[in-house]
Chain A
Amino acid sequence: MIFDALIAPFIEFEFMRRALVGCLALSLAAGPVGTFLMLRRMSLFGDAMAHTILPGAALGYLAFGLSLTAMTIGGLATGLLVVLLAGLVTRATRLREDASIAGFYLISLAIGVSIVSLKGSNVDLLRVLFGSILALDDPAMMLLAAMSTGTLLVLALIFRPLVLECVDPAFLRSVSRAGGPAHLIFLALVVTTLVSGFNALGTLLSVGMMMLPAIAARFWAVELTGIIFAATLIGLVSSLCGLILSFHTGLPSGPAIILVAGALYLLSLSFGPQGGLILKLLPQRHLEA
């Protein structure tokens, strides 16, 4: 029974195996990146960047048809361009980062929607918005895995400056010039993670893979390392359970995975040992010291 429900789909169908590998690779990068976004109070930044990716993905689609690789590279290009432009504007003018990014992502979104509505059909738009992990081909899967690997390696390289830039930017400035570049590189990693995610989950929901596990993880661990591990684990579990749910119910894979992640978030929020609601409601005697 359990075998039929949980294991058989992956043994019988190659597309399920592929989808699983793709989603697991994605979760490995999305957890850590999402954790930093949450801790930097940039939880909604992922949403803005997800919209930014649209015109590039649409252009890739128009030029090369339904090629995940072309759409990925297109999305990556527009995403990185917007991060870079917004970064430059933040440094050169009095606009704060959120404002300058809002400016560029809205322009980018309008261009993207224009391209899709002029040249494509509504089906295409739905595809870009909601993704289709079950149609992941070999090159796209390799690209996704490569991007996740690269993201993790680069994050490891900038880890220390990035943490200090979050906690005590003034101190970091006094000992090193690495803070600004670390922040910009981190934003680029957000873009790569989102782009890897949009193949599988669509531009709208790929944010969910970054943010939901990270936010849920806050209720399981106190220190940064623990939160990152918890977020990654929650992401992995969501991917696996989401695909199984999608297989048995006929739900699209993207929403199914994010719904599982959402359920895990609600569970963590209620029962998490670090500040979960239930624990807060229980009467607790205070300590001596």
Chain B
Amino acid sequence: MTAALLTLTDMTLGYDRHPAVHHVSGRIERGSLTAIIGPNGAGKSTLLKGIAGAMSPLSGTLARTPGTRIAYLPQSAALDRSFPISLFDLVAAGLWHRTGAFGGLSHKDRHAVHEAFERVGLQGFERRTLDALSGGQLQRALFARLILQNADLILLDEPLAAIDTKTSADLLAMIEVWHAQGRTIIAVLHDMQIVRDHFPQSLLLARECVAHGATVDVLTENNLGRARQMIEAFDEEAHICAQESAS
């Protein structure tokens, strides 16, 4: 009997009252490894943001087991790579839960940061600035930061976008290590083959939840076709949702 780490009940997330994720319910089990898949505009990133607590539901609820430590890796475009700090400082920020805004790094902490660099294969890159890195190296560094965050729930938004096969394989191996350590992982992905090979659970999203469960049951031709059909255009004149007015 596994326990639910996250319980979504009829949750709607959106922008300016327009839903991007519509009436989604479901449970994420502790220790599960779940891929969120779906067409562009399906609300995958929005759902991840909602789970991370970066936006609150328009309606419905999201219940997290109290004390769950969350690490959230957004799509990497948000980073200002011209800002002149070293890769070491960026990665060491993963220890925020220990240092807070003011605390210094202990000898042990510094050692942990160097170890994280080694685990992602970036040893020797500590003093580089962010603008001197390739996209793959930066993604490795962000994974090193995730290692230091030591979170129970790890949320990854398209972690393998624009990443070569070698780096993808390394990052996937790291995700599997986290899975083996009993952490709960939810990742937004586009590559169905990777989802089939590495992610036991899947959630197929097309603004509504099309299917959620074991990946083999979710990734059927029928489900994928339905998902494609369900993506409707954003309607400026949309009426108040019928499910909402009924309740």
Residues of A within 8 A of B (CB): 39, 157-158, 160-161, 163-164, 166-171, 173-176, 178, 221-224, 227
Contacts and interface: CB of A to CB of B under 8 A. Distances in A.
A173 B96 CA distance: 12
B84 A223 contact: yes
9 A-B pairs with the lowest CB-CB distances in the bound complex, closest first? A174-B72, A170-B74, A175-B96, A170-B78, A167-B83, A224-B84, A161-B101, A168-B79, A166-B83
B39 to A, nearest CB: 24
Contacts of A163: 83, 85, 89
A221 B93 CA distance: 22
B52 interface: yes
Contacts of B72: 170-171, 174
B130 A176 contact: no
A173 B129 CA distance: 22
Contacts of A169: 78
Given A170-B78, A222-B129, A175 B97 contact: yes
Given A39-B84, A170-B74, A178 B101 contact: yes
A222 B130 CA distance: 11
Binding site of B, secondary structure by majority: helix, strand, loop or mixed? mixed
A167 B130 contact: yes
Given A170-B74, A174-B72, A178-B101, A164 B129 contact: no
Contact of A168 (B90, B100, B102, B149): B90
A176 B101 contact: yes
B70 interface: yes
B157 to A, nearest CB: 10
Contacts of B80: 166-168
A175 B85 CA distance: 19
A227 B84 contact: yes
A167 B80 CA distance: 5
A158 B96 CA distance: 14
Contacts of B96: 175-176
A174 B93 contact: no
Given A160-B101, A167-B130, A173-B54, A222 B79 contact: no
B86 interface: yes
Interface string B45-79: 00000001110000000000000001110100011
Contacts of B129: 222-223
Nearest to B128: A222
Contacts of B89: 163
Nearest to B72: A174
B101 A167 contact: no
Contacts of A222: 84, 129
Given A157-B101, A174-B53, A223-B84, 13 more contacts: A39-B83, A39-B84, A157-B102, A163-B85, A166-B80, A167-B85, A169-B78, A170-B74, A222-B129, A223-B129, A224-B83, A224-B84, A224-B85
Nearest to A182: B101
Contacts of B71: 174
A6 to B, nearest CB: 34
Nearest to A178: B101
Nearest to A162: B101
Nearest to B79: A168
Contacts of B53: 174
Contacts of A167: 79-80, 83, 85, 90, 130
Contacts of A164: 93
A167 B83 CA distance: 6
26 contacts: A39-B84, A157-B102, A160-B101, A160-B102, A163-B83, A163-B85, A164-B93, A167-B80, A168-B79, A170-B54, A170-B72, A170-B74, A171-B72, A171-B74, A171-B93, A174-B54, A174-B71, A174-B72, A175-B93, A176-B100, A176-B101, A221-B84, A222-B129, A223-B85, A223-B129, A224-B85
